[in-house]
Amino acid sequence: MATAIVLLGLCLLAVTFCYIGRCLISPWGTCTRCRPGGKNRTCRACNGTGMRPRLGWQLFVYFRRLHSGGTR
């Protein structure tokens, strides 16, 4: 049982690191709202660019801002 928990934890860690790496390599993902039709100039989610920052990247920027604001 303990082995299963350790394996599960390792899998979660691996997935998390893969996601963080992906966010660092390409912080901009494609917009899911206007994806089928490509770029949509009236799309509010991406302002018509067709690109949106990933959730992980948004969190990273948020915490970086918090940090820089707290250590000023």
Residues that bind Zn ion (CB under 5 A): 31, 33-34, 43, 45-46
Neighbour tally for 57: CB within 10 Å:
18
User: In the complex with Zn ion, which residue's Cβ is closer, 33 or 54?
Assistant: 33
Dist. CA 23–CA 44, nearest whole Å: 22
User: In the complex with Zn ion, which residue's Cβ is closer, 12 or 45?
Assistant: 45
Least CB distance to Zn ion at residue 34 (A) = 4
User: In the complex with Zn ion, which residue's Cβ is closer, 23 or 34?
Assistant: 34
The answer to whether 68 and 46 are in contact (CB under 8 A) is no
